[in-house]
Amino acid sequence: MMLFDKMKIKSQTTLEDETGKTLPAKLVFSLAINFLKNDLLDECHKQLADVLEEDDILWVLTVPAIWNDAAKQFMRETAEDAGIKRSKLMIALEPEAASLYCRYLPVQKGDADCSLASFKPGTKYIVLDAGGGTIDITVHQVIVDGNVRELHKASGGAWGGTMVDKAYEQFLVSVAGSAVVQKFKEDHMDDFIDLFRTFEVTKREISPEKSAKVTFRLPPSFTDTFLEITGGSIAKKISSTEFRDRISYLSGKLRVDANITLDFFQKSVDSIVRHISSLLQDSSVQPCEAILMVGGFSESKVLHNAIKDEFGRMMKIIISESPGLAVLKGAVIFGHRPSTISERICKYTYGVNTTHETTKWCIHPSTETSESDGRKRCRNVFDKHVTIGQSVKLEEEQEESISNPVSDTQTGIWKMIYASTSPNPYLVTEPGCIKIGEFEIPIPDTTLGRDRKFGTRFIFGGTEIAVKVEDKAIGEIHIYSIDFLE
């Protein structure tokens, strides 16, 4: 979640654990990826008798579609730190991967007569990827060749299963007190983690259709911590709270009214339903035929029932087989067939910061002009390459933009990449514009001076942005990577 919803991410960002200790985020992520990589290699060597080399493998790293370019670069660099070569690494967007997986399945749970594999060209559907941290929502349409295109930019929020976990933790605080929960967390971290592992299983069984009390097991160390802090018993404390008629405690077990447990889900579920309702108001989404639910949180009966109650009358609700594995299995398909997602929607208006010579038609304020080599220039001009909401095809090159040095001795042209929520920004200094990255076009030979021209074309249709630069003087073409990290 450290990478969620931050336009600017520092390469040296640190993470803090439950006890307040910090480590570099890249170290934590790369160690996790390295463990998974080595585990797979060990398993392959056992089964394939060492015929598989590491260079034989294309690794697919999945990220939420609502993550920005800096977050994707951060994950790519951590994977490289884990020993995966750049040329052997592909980034996949999680709801897209899940959608691909379900396109290959003949049967899904949910509506018996509904399957993504049977959807005809033109069919529109929503992919609801409900994970632990984020809820990732995309809108797809089946096209003539069986491929899929994105119809609406990825959206969502931090409303995943961990929001339910936090509600449960707040419930424990209201029962035992914040001092007890904090002390328990500090002194018995293993039991604290195990407590939420157990809750993970229990919360999948919580359902609006069940009225029986729900049982939560508390480890002995929790009871001991309560006694140490308060000097009393949990049962006595409960009798003095607002829950006294709806909760009981006996032999390490909390017995809780079903209505209380449903409240754990309220904030998360309401946010998801409200967001989908808002999304359905967009004309590009209509008519929508189905909602495909994937991700571990989709196994929650509370979430499934809420989606079905709200939208089941107007469209089909499909839950994939093993929704928690849909992204993983879809990522494998994406690695073999990355062109299956043939069109995507731009989340921002992208452009570069440029300058041009001042003319009588310029509408620049005087504060945005400067003089160089006796020439007056307009600066901070937003040179737009693609517009927010625009559909871009895979490997499609945008219109070429010509650049040249502003001085005869210049040895490189720095391009500052900007993103804007406005469809037509004029200056990069306008509200809603933010610098997100940069790249350099090197000029090793300055013989031509200001007359040397470079053609820049952005390629936005993939999961990552690419830049194609042609040196017009010698005809050389290079693909440059953009640095999105601070």
Nearest-angstrom CA–CA distance, 165 and 162: 5
Nearest-angstrom CA–CA distance, 317 and 277: 14
231 lies in some domain: yes
Q: Is 25 helix (H, G, I), strand (E, B) or coil?
A: helix
Structural domain ending residue among the three candidates 264, 282, 314 = 264
355 lies in some domain: yes
Q: What CATH code is carried by the domain that includes residue 393?
A: 2.60.34.10
For the entire predicted model, the pTM comes to: 0.84
Nearest-angstrom CA–CA distance, 310 and 195: 32
Structural domain ending residue among the three candidates 264, 295, 322 = 264
Question: Which is it for the CA torsion 201, 202, 205, 206, positive or negative?
Answer: negative
Amino acid at 424: N
Instruction: Output the pLDDT for position 421.
Output: 92
Q: Which residues contact 169 (CB under 8 A, 6 or more apart)?
A: 181, 196
Q: Are 349 and 384 in contact (CB under 8 A)?
A: yes
Strands 148-157, 341-345: parallel, antiparallel or unpaired by DSSP? parallel
Q: Domain of 178? A: 161-264
486 lies in some domain: no
The verdict on 259 and 361 lying in the same domain is no
156 lies in some domain: no
Structural domain ending residue among the three candidates 221, 248, 264 = 264
Q: Is 296 helix (H, G, I), strand (E, B) or coil?
A: helix
Note the Cα 427 to chain centre separation in Å. Answer: 29
Instruction: Output the pLDDT for position 388.
Output: 93
The verdict on 226 and 350 lying in the same domain is no
286 lies in some domain: no
Taking the chain (486 residues) in consecutive chunks of 10 residues, what is each chunk's mean pLDDT? 78 84 93 95 82 87 90 93 94 92 65 66 92 91 87 91 94 92 92 92 88 91 92 86 85 91 95 95 92 91 94 90 89 92 92 75 60 70 91 90 86 90 91 90 86 90 90 89 86
Q: Are 463 and 72 in contact (CB under 8 A)?
A: yes
The verdict on 352 and 464 lying in the same domain is yes
The verdict on 252 and 359 lying in the same domain is no
Domain count of the fold of the chain? 2
394 lies in some domain: yes
The verdict on 362 and 472 lying in the same domain is yes
Q: How far is CA 223 from CA 167, 184, 228, in A?
A: 20, 9, 9
192 lies in some domain: yes
Instruction: Output the pLDDT for position 112.
Output: 47
The verdict on 237 and 356 lying in the same domain is no
Which of left, alpha, beta for 160 (phi over 0: left; psi -120 to 50: alpha)?
beta
433 lies in some domain: yes
The verdict on 355 and 476 lying in the same domain is yes
